[in-house]
Amino acid sequence: MLIRIEGRAGRVTLNRPAALNALTYPMCLALDAALIGWRDDPSVDLVVIDAAGDRAFCAGGDIAELYAKGRAGEYHFGQDFWRDEYRMNARIAEFPKPVVSLMQGFTMGGGVGVSCHASHRIVGETAQVAMPECGIGLVPDVGGSFLLALAPGRLGEYLGTTGTRMGPGDAIFAGFADTFVPQADWPALIAELCTGDVAAIERFARPAPDAGLPALLPQIDRHFGGETLGDIVRSLRADDSPFAAGALKALARVSPLAAACTVEMQHRLGEAPPLRRALEMEYRFTFRAQEHSDFLEGIRAAIIDKDRSPRWRHDDPAAVPPVDVSRMLMPLGPQTLTFTE
């Protein structure tokens, strides 16, 4: 992670392009420390966050290390990582100065946490934004559950459980981004931002590419409005439309427990939750994830053995016992996530 001051801007560049800029624990701590330092620095008017390479802004957290520590029973590593990452996510959202993020390529999971809580969120033509955590046995976190709860209709349940990728138009429609700027214009835009002129974004903004989600919203609202994941799956199974078939195929690839918890979290958060409340609820799941969920098995199947054949704890997404969901989302007592520096 490259951290420096250019002109009137605090500049952060994620710089692991060969690893799709996957977010490590030290990167989280470095970004958080930079924000704390710039918060009251009169020489910094705004913060600009971008990433090196063409393929990704940030494809997610560095889950290989979480897997190794979890397999060794060192659950505290993941618990510490998520706690400090979520505090950093909140600091971005609550920062008293403008924070501008520029998203290209894969922007997923931990990358959403860095970019989509900024006050000014820019997407380019290659942006692919998603919360695919259920596919590795985790729930949408890093404040993703908060963003999903604010999305129109039942998009939160749909995007959160299926991990559907959003191009720039859909990311703006769903509330994960604000402005489309062609990537060829980014160097000139950043140069103007470094003068402290956040209004430059308006001058560079262009109409976003067409979004596909608005046309799907009636079907999404019809099928993803159930009280539980089981209700959603049964509704989809009773429909022979291409949309239902595609949604069922996506749900068949994810952890039933994680998807069931994702739906429950959306319902608990409601339509306008405080970000800190969403992060605290996410931490209830991730605190327990390595020991009590499908998380380690999901990583094994996806990136360790790469057999794409995870053995989930539940066979049928329509039959996850409510008590299993409740256990993952119970308050943590003394371990509850707080937001101290």
Active site residues: 61, 110, 133, 141
Taking the C-alpha atoms of residue 151 and residue 147, their distance in angstroms, rounded to an integer, is 7
Through-space distance between the first and last CA atoms of the chain, rounded to whole angstroms? 21
Taking the C-alpha atoms of residue 174 and residue 151, their distance in angstroms, rounded to an integer, is 5
| Strands across the sheet containing 9-14 | 2-6, 9-14, 46-51, 99-103, 120-123, 179-180
Taking the C-alpha atoms of residue 285 and residue 191, their distance in angstroms, rounded to an integer, is 41
Nearest 5°: the CA angle 280, 62, 94 is: 40
- What does each C-alpha distance from 316 to 115, 136, 230, 267 come to in angstroms? 34, 16, 9, 21
